[in-house]
Amino acid sequence: MSTVDLRVGNKYRIGRKIGGGSFGDVYLGTNIISGEEIAIKLESVKAKHPQLEYEARVYKSLAGGVGIPFVRWYGTECDYNAMVYDLLGPSLEDLFNFCNRKFSLKTVLLLVDQLISRVEYVHAKSFIHRDIKPDNFLMGIGKRGNQVNAIDFGLAKKYRDPKTHFHIPYRENKNLTGTARYASINTHLGVEQARRDDMESLGYVILYFTRGSLPWQGLKAATKKQKYDRIMEKKMTTPTEVLCRGLPNEFAIYLNYCRSLRFDDKPDYSYLRKIFRDLFVREGFQYDYVFDWTVYKYQKNAEAITKAAGGNGPAAGDRTRH
């Protein structure tokens, strides 16, 4: 039986595939009763390392937070574990590609404010994400189109006891969990991850958006292990001032701050948000939620309309297409 014929939880019909994570595929679904569109993540019951049930449990623990998708249903249907949750828009990686792989300072600052808040909320609920990357943040849809949402909690882990707040112990010789490009230096070194590592990873994400790429991208190696080692070496030997050259000082301040945190330190999220908010004001930007893709989409539409009308509008010939 193909996944497309599948009904989930008696009231959800599966449509086309809209995404794939490392641990299962995501499909567009419809609530047969209300007609509402939702997302359905499927994982084969024969998966070597099943983790959808765990992810659904993490979502339940985080339920109610701003920018956390709500899980409507979790269960097993035929040969699949299925999780039904809010349908969201494109990922920040999708939008980065749409904008020719460079975001303006304004867009980065609009995003970083929300990104810090999402990570702070996850931490407040006693979890660390452990795979902070542009693909794991999705914009909302409809009236929530300006809201950043955190997704993909399959690698999330409790870093403290939710009741006593007793922190997990410091350990070494851990394998790299997450994505090497955005992994913290301590994660490369095999140190158990904690709050500081999510924040450092977020630092690499915002630098990636602002610079357009990171110096340790595209390194070639014979094996995965050698590649990870080359990435780590480049990360450790690239001084912050080189990484942040030409950018406002706040980027270096952010990264140095995160790298200076001790294992069980609580990051000062408000301080980090404030330095970027102050920069936003200093730059004279407007808090109007006009992101690069908002403008770009408008321009692309305008170009298409002008072209269809046979004209040669102001934006028609002066931008390269990819």
41 marked as binding residue:
yes
How many other β-carbons are positioned within 10 Å of the β-carbon of residue 43?
A: 23
Query: Which residues on neighbouring strands pair with residue 160, listed in sequence order?
Result: 167
Q: Which of 244, 263, 242 is nearest to 206 (CA)?
A: 244
- Partnered with residue 80 across adjacent β-strands are 44, 77
Determine how many CB atoms are found less than 10 A away from the CB of residue 298: 12
Query: Which of 86, 131, 152, 197 is the catalytic position?
Result: 131
Q: Label residues 18-31 b or e (16+ Cβ within 10 Å = b).
A: ebebebbbbbbbbe
Host H or E run for residue 44 = strand 37-44
Active site residue 152: no
Dihedral of the alpha carbons of 26, 135, 59, 177, in degrees to the nearest 10: 110
In whole angstroms, how far apart are CA 285 and each of 37, 101, 262, 293?
Answer: 35, 21, 34, 16
Q: Which residues are known binding-site members?
A: 41
Where in the sequence numbering do the catalytic residues fall?
131
Q: Which residues are known binding-site members for ATP?
A: 41
